[in-house]
Structure 1
Amino acid sequence: MEGRAARLEKARAFVLANARLLDRRRYELGLEGGSADGVIAALKAYQNPDGGFGNALEPDMRTSASQPVAVEQALWIMDEANRFDADIIAGIAAYLKSITVPATGGFPRALLSVNDAPHAPWWITEDDQQASLNPTGNILGLLYKQTAVNDFKQEEWFTRSAEFIWNRIPQADQTDYHDLHQCITFLQYAPDRGRASALQEELNRWLRQPGVIELDPQAEGYVHKVLDWAPVPASYAAELISPADIERHLDDLEKQQEADGGWKVSFPSISPGNGTEWRGLITVNRLITLQAYGRL
């Protein structure tokens, strides 16, 4: 079996040959001591004049138009880089204000403009007038977490959207990774800690249900395994998973590296180029996880 140094070098070559500039910058920051400035500069290319993000930042949405999920992705990238850029955040706030659902607060899962360019079938959108837990929960949670810009947190669109999530969490699908991930992020960073703690007790009960966090590294089908829930040791769900289970899944993750140095995509791609983008992104994610757990 190849040593870790050799496998890392193969992964590096794969990333440099195949990944988007943004993901190459993420690799440099996470694995080679690169600069967060490089990540932010690459990320800004995906931001639109309306302050939102599009331009296939979420690779399965090829539209140039801004989308809520692309905003969510931009926030996660800044969080990973530990650099919330004030100009980017100010633009995001302006965009989110413009798409807040008037009746309830919150943001749609996707806007109808997603249909105007190639997209994965799960992003087909017929109604963009209903707010959705996904991605509103993660967006608000990360906006609470960042402190680069704070003034909008008292604005009516933001407080109504937060109240939408408070009311929506008890109705979340108790076994769905995407719903529960939104709940986790929002409850981690919402400032009302008393209200959050009460719901976190219920959330932890949901997470402990058999099969929600899939413990079998070899499980197939639409499952979310240990390292989906805990990609780094500081992840919320890591405390609910035994160290032995984490180690078993890290062993399996190392074995999943392909001969070309990258990791596979576990879902269908909409084009060869789309598949390559996803493999680059996922390979960087896998390397960051292995690095965080001391496997590189």
Structure 2
Amino acid sequence: MAETGASTDPVPSPDAALSPVARAEHFVWLTARVLEQRRFAYHFMEGTTGAAGTGGDQAADAVEAALAAYATGDGGYGYALEPDLRGPVSQPLHTGHALRVLDSIRRCGGQRVERVCRYLTSVSTPDGALPAIHPSQRGYPSAPFVPIVDDPPSELLATGPVVGLLHRNEVWHAWLFRATDFCWAAVESLEKSHPYEVQAAVAFLDSAPDRPRAQAAADRIGRLVREQRLAALDPADLDAYPVSPGYAPGEHHFAHDFAKVPESLARAWFTDDEMERSLDFLEGDQQADGGWPVRWRQWAPGTALEARPIVTIEALRTLRAYGRSID
């Protein structure tokens, strides 16, 4: 585009009187990658959304086309789909992110997921589960808080959400058998944990086929969350809640971070008042530019810029799932 004249004026923020979605739309068009632009259009834009709040086939096709740019030749995903891991190599965290996107547009199945499962099999540890970071990441930029080791252990953090999504979409593949067993063992042995690990446990339990077992495990983890004060139950008094070791200053987690939808097993962990306070906080956390903030540790300007639209879309989806007015 031809330069029309230098200016040092700041980029104008959206009108504060606009709806949360309208302000977020301004932010997304200003800052987001094509994938998040397409996802926003699928979930929220008039003309692409139906009565159920999900886009039609054309909008889903557009999300799939944007996601395909991150696909790798081995059936996984790379190219900084998960912004904290840069470079072209496949990683379990990228692939989990891709499955969440496909699930959100109801396209998590078929040959595409068969290829993903073959990739998951190829990078699994000897016990059949996923490492958080595969050693192929070495040599490419990545967040300093995700160490790269030659023989990484299995992680619930990486495995739980993937296994949960595959069960949710009734995918059956040989890889799932041992990976599911790993998740059960990891979830049922949790004693001392941290919020991201708990979120991974919830992602598994919300879709695990054995519902009575999942309910019992969720009840126990909910008690653990409250005992270890992993959820900030009063957003107006954050100093009263510790931040987990290794997390950024102020990197608290709230009820809505664990129970992203009312149907989640984690919803029972919180009273109605606690949930309402959490949603009030989430609603009020929209920034002047229309986006929601990233609360985890930042290490490079580009990663924060790419992550905020992702966080913004998920914030709006959570608010809408709980019946909050966003339009």
Common fold by TM > 0.5: yes
> Match of 2:150?
127
Show structure 2 runs of 5+ residues with no match.
Answer: 1-14, 50-54, 240-249
Displacement of 1:194 in angstroms is: 4.6
Task: Read off the aligned partner of 1:12 and give its amino acid letter.
Answer: E
Match among 18, 23, 34 for residue 10 of structure 1:
23
By relative contact order (CA 8 Å, sep 6+), the higher-ranking structure is 1
Displacement of 1:193 in angstroms is: 3.7
Displacement of 1:199 in angstroms is: 2.6
Task: Read off the aligned partner of 2:30 and give its amino acid letter.
Answer: A
Aligned pairs for 1:273-284 within 5 A: 273-284=302-313
- Number of equivalences: 289
Distance 2:255 2:98 in 1: 24
Task: Read off the aligned partner of 2:149 and give its amino acid letter.
Answer: E
Task: Read off the aligned partner of 1:275 and give its amino acid letter.
Answer: A
Secondary structure of the residue that 2:98 maps to in structure 1?
helix
> Match of 1:21?
34
TM-score, normalising length: structure 1: 0.88
Stretches of 4+ moved more than 6 A in 1? none
> Match of 2:83?
59
> Match of 2:162?
139
Does structure 2 retain, via aligned residues, the 8 Å contact 1:169–1:183? yes
Shift in CA distance, 160/225, structure 1 to aligned 2, threshold 3 Å: same
Does structure 2 retain, via aligned residues, the 8 Å contact 1:265–1:282? yes
2:325 counterpart of 1:295: yes
Shift in CA distance, 271/179, structure 1 to aligned 2, threshold 3 Å: closer
Does structure 1 retain, via aligned residues, the 8 Å contact 2:157–2:197? yes
Aligned pairs for 1:103-118 within 5 A: 104-118=127-141
Q: What's the RMSD between the two structures over aligned residues?
A: 2.2
Q: Which has the higher helix share?
A: 1
Displacement of 1:173 in angstroms is: 4.5
Secondary structure of the residue that 2:273 maps to in structure 1?
helix
Does structure 2 retain, via aligned residues, the 8 Å contact 1:173–1:180? no
> Match of 2:287?
258
Aligned residues with identical type, % of pairs: 35
> Match of 1:158?
176
Task: Read off the aligned partner of 2:288 and give its amino acid letter.
Answer: A
Shift in CA distance, 277/173, structure 1 to aligned 2, threshold 3 Å: farther
Does structure 2 retain, via aligned residues, the 8 Å contact 1:110–1:128? no
Task: Read off the aligned partner of 2:164 and give its amino acid letter.
Answer: G
Distance 2:70 2:212 in 1: 37
Does structure 2 retain, via aligned residues, the 8 Å contact 1:115–1:124? no
Distance 2:213 2:97 in 1: 27
Does structure 1 retain, via aligned residues, the 8 Å contact 2:202–2:258? no
Shift in CA distance, 213/251, structure 1 to aligned 2, threshold 3 Å: same
Distance 1:189 1:214 in 2: 25
TM-score, normalising length: structure 2: 0.80
Distance 1:172 1:43 in 2: 34
Show structure 1 runs of 5+ residues with no match.
Answer: none
Compare CA radii of gyration and give the structure with the larger one.
2
Shift in CA distance, 62/163, structure 1 to aligned 2, threshold 3 Å: same
Match among 187, 190, 211 for residue 169 of structure 1:
187
Distance 2:16 2:29 in 1: 20
